[in-house]
Amino acid sequence: MKYKIFLVLFKGLNIYTSIIEMKIVRVNIDGTMNDLDLQLKKRGLTKQLEGNASSKGSTNFRELYKWNHENREIICYGWYDGDAGFENKHDLIPNGNSSFLCDEDSSEKLLFGDIFLVCYDKKKTIIDFDVSDYAELYDIMFEGFDDCNSEDDDIEDEDEPNTDDENFIVDDDEDIDSNESYEYSDEELEEDTNEY
């Protein structure tokens, strides 16, 4: 974390403001992620993040979800509505808290445009948070998730026939006597009375 102090002249007064150089995560609409090194100010954070979006939704850019983990708070910023083709393909971490998106779990809610993830410490100070940090948190939060293609599944060798296959397969070596005749009884055959 790098702190830089800048001198700002405002109406003849010397005012000091701190700008913090931080790493944050941007989740692009195709699901890929980038680490962004930004000079962040606490005031106007949402405008700064929105200015770094390559793709946007149609609603106001705002805080969408929060997650708390190990004395850190991860906040997701972005858009919850937008046009077709601008859907974000990424599934967020489940169980995110939202002040207004209460109807769906954060891992199921369709979001639009780029999504930004910013991390705060317990003092509400922005701290570095990069893609590897998010990946680690994602794995922890999805712990116990059963992947349908796990190694624990019993996988049958596709080349070996099972008993159902064996009952269906006709042995080509069997002699079929084409001279055999079969007599049909009236009970087996029915007359087709349908009108076509």
CA atoms within 13 A on the CB side of 2: 8
| pLDDT over threshold 90, residue 176 | no
Q: What is the DSSP string of 142-159?
A: TTT---TT-TTS----TT
Please report, rounded to a whole number, the percentage of residues in the chain having pLDDT higher than 70: 67
The predicted-structure confidence for 68-93, as pLDDT tens digits, reads as follows 999 999 999 999 999 999 999 999 99
The predicted-structure confidence for 92-112, as pLDDT tens digits, reads as follows 999 999 988 877 789 889 999
Decide which of 188 and 136 is more confident: 136
The predicted-structure confidence for 44-61, as pLDDT tens digits, reads as follows 899 999 999 999 999 999
Please report, rounded to a whole number, the percentage of residues in the chain having pLDDT higher than 90: 49
Res 50: pLDDT: 96
| pLDDT over threshold 50, residue 147 | no
Q: Which amino acid is at 104?
A: E
> CB neighbours of 162 closer than 8 A, spacing ≥ 6?
156
CA atoms within 13 A on the CB side of 45: 22
| pLDDT over threshold 90, residue 13 | no
The predicted-structure confidence for 18-46, as pLDDT tens digits, reads as follows 677 899 999 999 999 999 999 877 678 99
